[in-house]
């Protein structure tokens, strides 16, 4: 498969032709000229140098944002114009995804940052999870799964630093936000970190093309007429995905160690007393722990952490992604836990809930839990009583 790749979402303008696992050509400029002056001449020069025929490409991969408003409009307009003229589909690549993908195989936290002004950055949080090509071969070729821990977002630098400190993992930074906020990062970070070298620290169209081929094979492409840049507003594709997720039944599976970072991110977004990734990984290692994860449309929808002791099981943590609430996720998690408990000889499930959390109290009551008592001032921030509840496993 052959794609033309375009990225003008930041200060760097870059174009490439990628065919399968080979970069045929790449042209990158990080200079003071505007993208309107450079982008089309770059494509024209690159095509001439390799004697390429754009009619032979299969698709156009374009970095769709976030990023510079003007740069995104120029890149989007160029890709749409070529797509319409050539009759080729477009592959919308999130800018932060492509930047992170350039550090293939890195098992640290990968954090691309683009300057969004006023102490804010466009960013996402990523990593690569290793897996052997052959599980039966001790010395099999290593391959890596691209893990999106936190989808791209606009966030303050202070908030980003707090999130990264919670993970407790080494971080690699790249992007035009690094020189702008380097001192803030150095002052606030409590985890090991480093900055990517010059050949990896800016956008590259070859990476957009490589990721574009992968996404195309997954069916993630659109017509030129449908394409719109992502200014961190909800896109049509996201609205359609949300509708599919709402109607899809969640799938429940056992949590694995590679889920730790993603669950820590959800903890941070859902709870003030968020568990760190280290705490979650330590829980996963406990032989009496039951850790479940719910997924809808290939996305994490919720999770549940519980412990067993004798004939009882206590729920320590349960969370559901905010936009997926009231879609049966928590009920499915509770049902799966009860099924596991019944198979293990558990007679009773215990939990506690904030007295002011009426939605959770109503859910547990509808699932057969009854009140056993009150534990005064159990919760803090804010100070609140805990309602003790239990359910007999039948």
Q: Hey, what long-range contacts does 152-155 have (CB within 8 A, 24 or more apart)?
A: 152/66, 152/94, 152/95, 152/96, 152/97, 152/122, 152/123, 152/124, 152/232, 153/122, 153/123, 153/124, 153/232, 154/66, 154/116, 154/120, 154/121, 154/122, 154/232, 155/120, 155/121, 155/123
- Residue intervals of the chain classified under CATH 3.40.630.30 are 243-390
Lowest-pLDDT range, 67-71, 157-161, 162-166, 208-212? 67-71
What pLDDT, on a 0 to 100 scale, did the predictor assign at position 234? 43
Residue 262 has pLDDT above 90, yes or no: no
For 249-258, how does the pLDDT look when each residue is reduced to its tens digit (9 = 90+)? 789 999 998 8
pLDDT value at position 233? 40
Identify the residue whose tokens are 């067993």: 308
Q: What are the tokens at 40?
A: 């089309």
Arithmetic mean of pLDDT over the chain:
89
For range 78-89, the mean pLDDT: 94
* DSSP bridge partners of 62: 6, 92
Q: For the residues 22-50, what does the mean pLDDT come to?
A: 90
Q: Looking at residue 297, what is its pLDDT?
A: 65
Note the pLDDT tens digit of each residue in 38-77: 899 999 999 999 999 999 999 999 999 888 888 888 999 9
The residues of the chain that CATH labels 3.30.420.40 are 1-232
Question: Measuring CA to CA, how many Å separate 314 from each of 117, 122, 368, 383?
Answer: 46, 39, 15, 22
Per-residue confidence (pLDDT) for residue 131, from 0 to 100: 74
Mark out the alpha helices in the chain (DSSP H runs).
35-49, 69-86, 95-101, 157-167, 177-188, 205-217, 236-247, 260-270, 277-285, 329-343, 358-366
The pLDDT assigned to 236 comes to 44
Give the separation between CA 391 and CA 55, rounded to whole angstroms.
65
Residue with the bigger pLDDT between 269 and 375: it is 375
pLDDT at 240: 58
Q: Look up the CATH architecture of domain 243-390.
A: 3-Layer(aba) Sandwich (3.40)
pTM: predicted TM-score of the whole model, two decimal places: 0.64
Q: What CATH class does 1-232 carry?
A: alpha beta
The proportion of the chain whose per-residue pLDDT surpasses 70, expressed as a percent, equals: 92
pLDDT band at 15 (very low <50, low <70, confident <90, very high): very high
pLDDT digits (tens, 9 = 90+) for 305-319: 999 998 999 999 999
DSSP annotation of 273: T
Q: What percent of the chain has pLDDT over 90?
A: 66
**How far apart (Å, rounded) are the C-alpha atoms in residues 392 and 21?**
56
pLDDT of residue 37: 84
The pLDDT of residue 268: 85
Question: How buried is residue 266: exposed, middle or buried, by Cβ count under 10 Å (0-12/13-18/19+)?
Answer: buried
Q: State the pLDDT at residue 124.
A: 94
């Amino acid at each position: 498969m052959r794609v033309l790749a375009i990225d003008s979402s930041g200060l760097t303008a870059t174009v490439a032709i990628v065919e399968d696992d080979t970069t045929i050509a790449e042209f990158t400029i990080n200079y003071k000229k505007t993208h309107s002056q450079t982008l089309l001449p770059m494509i024209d020069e690159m095509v001439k140098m390799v004697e390429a025929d754009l009619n032979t490409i299969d698709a156009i991969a374009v970095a769709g944002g976030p990023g510079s408003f003007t740069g995104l409009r120029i890149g989007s307009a160029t890709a749409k114009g070529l797509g319409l003229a050539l009759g080729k589909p477009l592959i919308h690549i999130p800018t932060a995804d492509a930047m992170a993908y350039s550090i293939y195989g890195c098992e640290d936290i990968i954090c691309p940052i683009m300057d969004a002004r006023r102490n804010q950055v466009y960013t996402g949080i990523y990593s690569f999870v290793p897996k052997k090509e052959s599980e039966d071969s001790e010395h099999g070729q290593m391959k890596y799964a691209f893990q999106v821990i936190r989808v791209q977002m606009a966030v303050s630098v202070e908030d980003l630093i707090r999130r990264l400190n919670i993970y407790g993992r080494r971080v690699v930074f790249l992007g035009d936000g690094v020189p702008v906020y380097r001192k803030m990062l150095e002052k606030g970070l409590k985890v090991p970190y480093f900055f990517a070298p010059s050949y990896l620290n800016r956008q590259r169209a070859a990476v957009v093309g490589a990721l574009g081929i992968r996404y195309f094979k997954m069916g993630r492409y659109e017509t030129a007429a449908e394409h719109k840049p992502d200014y961190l507003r909800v896109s049509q594709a996201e609205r359609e995905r949300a509708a599919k997720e709402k109607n899809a039944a969640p799938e429940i599976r056992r949590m694995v160690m590679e889920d730790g970072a993603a669950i820590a991110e959800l903890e941070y977004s859902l709870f003030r007393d968020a568990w760190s990734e280290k705490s979650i990984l330590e829980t996963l290692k406990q032989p009496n722990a039951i850790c479940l994860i719910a997924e809808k449309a290939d996305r994490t929808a919720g999770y549940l952490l519980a412990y067993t002791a004798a004939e009882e099981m206590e729920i320590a943590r349960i969370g559901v992604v905010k936009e997926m609430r009231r879609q049966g996720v928590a009920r499915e998690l509770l049902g799966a836990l009860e099924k596991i408990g019944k198979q293990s000889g558990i007679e009773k499930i215990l939990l506690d809930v904030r007295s002011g959390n009426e939605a959770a109290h109503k859910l547990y009551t509808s699932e057969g839990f009854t009140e056993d008592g009150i534990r005064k001032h159990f919760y803090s921030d804010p100070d609140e009583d805990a309602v003790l509840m239990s359910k007999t496993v039948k």
